[in-house]
């Protein structure tokens, strides 16, 4: 748990910085600079890319996490496994290009708007670049994370990447580059992360290219192949569940509505920062614990990480609810439809956080095949609900469909884990945290609105609520980890 605290905190800090930059980019600068339709197209492009990556290449990341403990005994074995991952990722990237070529016409026919069709036909070639580079990056990131050194990857993924996007937006705004150049450079930005990871591995002698023929045995290939097929099918379901809303909004409505939905989805996704930050370091540790069959330690991590993430996630959700109207006033009336999208998706993210790392625990367990069953069921639910609700409720319907789907898949997964492994992530302290969050919503009604400056209103309102919430959490000792962290920060500030 100490290793999770140390590296997880760094990852969370990088995630907060990245999400802040990403929020500024996605929620403000993208729609204001390029227009909401072009922003919607970029989100559509990314969604298609992520789905293809999941179909073909996401397995390389999970293979690295899952099998690294079995190839970590000495440097030669590690290097052989690393070379295998690189080779495997390059093959997957090449294969993905072929599959994309075969399905190009089908993908483009899904769009109903003539204007959207013109934009997607013109820049469809960028998908090849996005997908191939992302697949290669996944393999490299998985290897570094499996070595329990995710901070470097997190820094480039969550900090440097949005800084690159911010720079590109600035170049476009000041007419240094045009729309075509912006989109091309945007697609190539993953190349910077790939080069950085390779340099990091070489600089610290963490990996080098060696023959893997003597390291990867036939029995290993069989196990890896089986696991890759499993992660491919389950990964496709998982990604479609999280991306089908954007794709179906583009199909039923248009890129402008897709862009508005993406803006408020980005806002709600801030809730997942602590959860995602700790996942990166928790995943390889949980894999190691499964190798050692230490279920007691797995349950301990399961409960502690869930409680900590949920307490922080609730505060972020309250912050979204109390400031969403101010944000809409700043952005303009065309964004009014996104208000309840942010609230519904925020609740969805809280559901994810409340159920903890149930999918991670299952992925690394002997019963990992069950993930495929739950994901397949959720896939059916998400497609049907989006198909029924988007034509009636628009982008709010997409948010409602996402909520129904994620609650379903999390419930099924937790019931299975509870029945088979006799563990769960819940505690009464989570209920108390909900009560404190509800109290903060009521306190917010007593805070006067600063009408002459929206930024000052957001900052002051958020500060008051955060301090009061933190005091309650500390006073009632909801989380020993959070108490220790806040006390440590208090002492450091006091010394200065």
492 pLDDT above the threshold of 70: no
User: Which of the four pLDDT bands, split at 50, 70 and 90, describes residue 181?
Assistant: very high
Question: Which pLDDT value is given to residue 173?
Answer: 92
Tokens of 361: 């625990």
1 pLDDT above the threshold of 60: no
* Cβ contact 143:200 at 8 Å: no
Quickly list DSSP for 199-246: HHHHHTT-------TTTS-HHHHHHHHHHHHHHHHHHHHHHHHHHHHH
pLDDT for 386-401, tens place per residue? 999 999 999 999 999 9
Range name among 26-35, 48-57, 138-147, 268-277 with the lowest pLDDT average:
48-57
pLDDT for 299-318, tens place per residue? 998 999 999 999 999 999 99
CA-to-CA separations, 258 to 49, 76, 161, 237, in angstroms, rounded = 16, 48, 22, 21
**Structural domain harbouring 387:** 2-495
With a pLDDT cut of 70, the percent of the chain lying above it is 93
Beta strands of 238-390 (E only): which ranges? Answer: none
Question: Which pLDDT value is given to residue 176?
Answer: 94
Q: How far apart are CA 372 and CA 358, in angstroms?
A: 13
Question: Which pLDDT value is given to residue 432?
Answer: 96
Question: Which pLDDT value is given to residue 275?
Answer: 83
Q: What is the pTM of this model?
A: 0.76
> Which residues contact residue 202 at a Cβ distance below 8 angstroms, ignoring those fewer than 6 apart?
208
Tokens of 69: 């403990």
> Which residues contact residue 370 at a Cβ distance below 8 angstroms, ignoring those fewer than 6 apart?
362, 413, 416
Highest average pLDDT, of 28-37, 47-56, 318-327, comes from: 318-327
2 pLDDT above the threshold of 60: no
CA-to-CA separations, 190 to 177, 194, 201, 227, 273, in angstroms, rounded = 19, 6, 17, 26, 21
Q: How far apart are CA 467 and CA 422, in angstroms?
A: 37
181 or 493, higher pLDDT: 181
pLDDT for 321-338, tens place per residue? 999 998 888 888 888 889
Mean pLDDT in the chain?
86
With a pLDDT cut of 90, the percent of the chain lying above it is 35
What backbone phi and psi angles, to 5 degrees, belong to 387? Answer: -65, -35
Q: To which H or E segment does residue 317 belong?
A: helix 295-331
20 or 81, higher pLDDT: 81
Tokens 């990091």 locate to: 200
User: Which of the four pLDDT bands, split at 50, 70 and 90, describes residue 349?
Assistant: very high
User: Which of the four pLDDT bands, split at 50, 70 and 90, describes residue 204?
Assistant: confident
Crossing angle (nearest 10°) for helices 255-268 and 2-23: 140
Tokens of 113: 């708007």
Angle, vertex CA 402, rays to CA 190 and CA 397, nearest 5: 115
Tokens 């006033």 locate to: 329
Burial of 109 (0-12, 13-18, 19+ CB in 10 A): exposed
Of the candidates 138, 189, 422, the one whose C-alpha atom is nearest the C-alpha of residue 302 is: 422
5 pLDDT above the threshold of 70: no
Count of domains observed in the chain: 1
CA-to-CA separations, 494 to 456, 466, 471, in angstroms, rounded = 26, 19, 17
Burial 311-346 (b: 16+ CB within 10 A, else e): bbbbbbbbbbbbbbebbbeebeeebebbbbbbbbbb
Mean pLDDT of 227-253: 79
Of the candidates 112, 158, 114, 130, the one whose C-alpha atom is nearest the C-alpha of residue 47 is: 130
Question: Which pLDDT value is given to residue 246?
Answer: 87
Q: How far apart are CA 425 and CA 357, in angstroms?
A: 9
Range name among 115-129, 179-193, 434-448 with the lowest pLDDT average:
115-129
Tokens of 416: 């299975």
116 pLDDT above the threshold of 80: no
> Which residues contact residue 381 at a Cβ distance below 8 angstroms, ignoring those fewer than 6 apart?
404, 405, 408, 409
pLDDT for 482-491, tens place per residue? 888 887 776 7
493 pLDDT above the threshold of 70: no
7 pLDDT above the threshold of 60: no
Question: Which pLDDT value is given to residue 441?
Answer: 95
């Amino acid at each position: 748990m100490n290793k999770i605290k140390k590296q997880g905190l760094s990852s969370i800090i990088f995630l907060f910085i990245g999400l802040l930059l990403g929020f500024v980019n996605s929620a403000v600068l993208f729609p204001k600079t390029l227009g909401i339709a072009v922003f919607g197209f970029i989100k559509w492009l990314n969604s298609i890319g992520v789905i293809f990556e999941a179909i073909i290449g996401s397995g390389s990341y999970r293979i690295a996490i899952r099998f690294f403990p079995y190839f970590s005994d000495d440097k030669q074995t590690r290097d052989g496994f690393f070379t295998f991952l690189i080779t495997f990722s390059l093959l997957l990237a090449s294969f993905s290009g072929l599959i994309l070529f075969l399905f190009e016409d089908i993908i483009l026919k899904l769009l109903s708007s003539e204007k959207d069709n013109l934009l997607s036909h013109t820049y469809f070639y960028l998908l090849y670049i996005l997908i191939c580079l992302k697949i290669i990056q996944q393999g490299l990131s998985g290897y570094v994370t499996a070595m329990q050194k995710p901070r470097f990857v997190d820094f480039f993924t969550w900090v440097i990447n949005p800084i690159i996007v911010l720079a590109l937006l600035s170049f476009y705004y000041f007419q240094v580059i045009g729309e075509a150049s912006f989109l091309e450079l945007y697609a190539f930005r993953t190349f910077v992360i790939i080069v950085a990871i390779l340099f990091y591995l070489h600089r610290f002698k963490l990996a080098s290219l060696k023959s893997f023929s003597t390291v990867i045995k036939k029995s290993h290939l069989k196990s890896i192949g089986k696991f890759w097929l499993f992660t491919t099918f389950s990964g496709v379901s998982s990604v479609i569940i999280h991306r089908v809303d954007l794709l179906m909004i583009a199909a039923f409505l248009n890129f402008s509505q897709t862009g508005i939905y993406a803006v408020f989805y980005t806002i709600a996704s801030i809730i997942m920062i602590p959860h995602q930050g700790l996942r990166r370091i928790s995943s390889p540790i949980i894999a190691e614990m499964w190798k050692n069959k230490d279920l007691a330690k797995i349950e301990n991590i399961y409960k502690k990480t869930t409680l900590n993430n949920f307490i922080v996630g609730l505060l972020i959700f309250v912050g979204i609810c109390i400031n969403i109207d101010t944000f809409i006033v700043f952005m303009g009336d065309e964004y009014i439809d996104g208000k309840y999208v942010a609230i519904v998706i925020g609740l969805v993210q809280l559901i994810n956080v409340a159920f903890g790392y149930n999918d991670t625990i299952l992925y690394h367990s002997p019963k990992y095949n069950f993930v495929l069953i739950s994901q397949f069921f959720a896939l059916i639910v998400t497609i049907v609900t989006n198909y029924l609700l988007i034509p009636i409720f628009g982008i709010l319907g997409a948010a409602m469909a996402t909520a129904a789907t994620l609650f379903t898949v999390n419930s099924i997964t937790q019931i299975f884990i509870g029945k088979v492994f006799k563990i769960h992530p819940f505690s009464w302290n989570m209920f108390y945290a909900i009560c404190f969050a509800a109290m903060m919503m009521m306190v917010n009604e007593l805070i006067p609105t600063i009408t002459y400056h929206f930024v000052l209103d957001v900052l002051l309102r958020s500060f008051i609520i955060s301090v009061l919430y933190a005091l309650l959490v500390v006073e009632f000792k909801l989380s020993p980890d959070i108490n220790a962290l806040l006390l440590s920060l208090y002492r450091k500030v006091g010394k200065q």
